[in-house]
Amino acid sequence: MSAAPLVDLQSCADEPIHIPGFIQPHGFLLYFGPDGMLEGWSAKLPGELAQLQAGQRFDLLPLPALASELIEECVACQVDGECAPAFAAVELAKISYDCIVHATRGRIIAEFEARDVPADAVALFAVKAHSSIERVRRQKSVNALLETAVRQVRDFTGFDRVMAYRFREDDSGDVVAEARRDDLTPYLGQRYPAGDIPAQARRMYVLNTLRMIAKAGYEPVP
């Protein structure tokens, strides 16, 4: 029987997961300078945007009105090149998108993620999420909060496993709460070295608190 392959923690630490140079294929991305001038875009664009040229101002692009409003607000609200994300539901080429616009390091990013569920389903999800958040807020201790949170997240997402992970001062971490399918091996109480979640990944969790993967086996789009 062959030995299990060793995990190269240094390779994990060096992996540029925070600057992959690609996006997921269920949407597209535009990026602008701090003044709202178009600088670049992803390879996958709707037909209406096929003739983009660098240097165009955002309000001259054939974008949905709400998307242009978000970009305009982002141009105005930047502080030291940063602006918090703002969201809007838009439609382009008869496809519904969630448009998310934010600024970071002096660059405005406009992301368009295709939405494959109707608005009423999204509204119902929001109601469920609000109910779950209220149940979490009722808890009187951190441990009770975490245990309730993982159960609630699993209940309304249907994920096989949901874990709460607490970092220590040395950047190692422990699984401190878990909700899982009964047939899965429990990870509760396991401790993992700092290199298991490297520094660039920890920073991503702080900057972007919600990260979604539409399809695990997707082919990335440059």
Query: Do the domains spanning 13-114 and 119-189 agree at the CATH topology level?
Result: yes
Mean of per-residue pLDDT scores for the chain: 85
Residue 11 backbone zone (phi > 0: left; psi -120 to 50: alpha; other: beta): alpha
CA distances from 158 to 123, 145, 151, 153, 179 (A): 18, 19, 10, 8, 11
Q: Which of 142, 91, 108 lies closest to 29 in space, CA to CA? A: 108
Burial 24-61 (b: 16+ CB within 10 A, else e): bbbbbbbbbeeebebeebbeebeeebeeeeeeeebeeb
What are residue 88's DSSP bridge partners?
A: 99
pTM (predicted TM-score): 0.67
- pLDDT tens for the chain, 222 residues: list them: 445 455 555 555 555 544 555 556 568 999 999 999 999 999 888 888 988 999 999 999 999 999 999 999 999 999 999 999 999 999 998 889 999 999 999 999 999 998 877 667 766 777 777 788 888 889 999 999 999 999 999 998 889 999 999 999 999 999 999 999 999 999 999 999 988 888 888 887 777 777 666 666 666 666
Q: What is the pLDDT of residues 98-122, one digit of tens each?
A: 999 999 999 999 999 988 776 677 6
Class of domain 119-189: alpha beta
CA distances from 86 to 66, 73, 99, 157, 161 (A): 11, 9, 8, 23, 29
Query: What is the residue extent of each domain of the chain?
Result: 13-114, 119-189
CATH of 13-114, one of 3.30.420.40, 3.40.50.970, 3.40.190.150, 3.30.450.20: 3.30.450.20
Pairing of strands 161-167, 107-114: unpaired
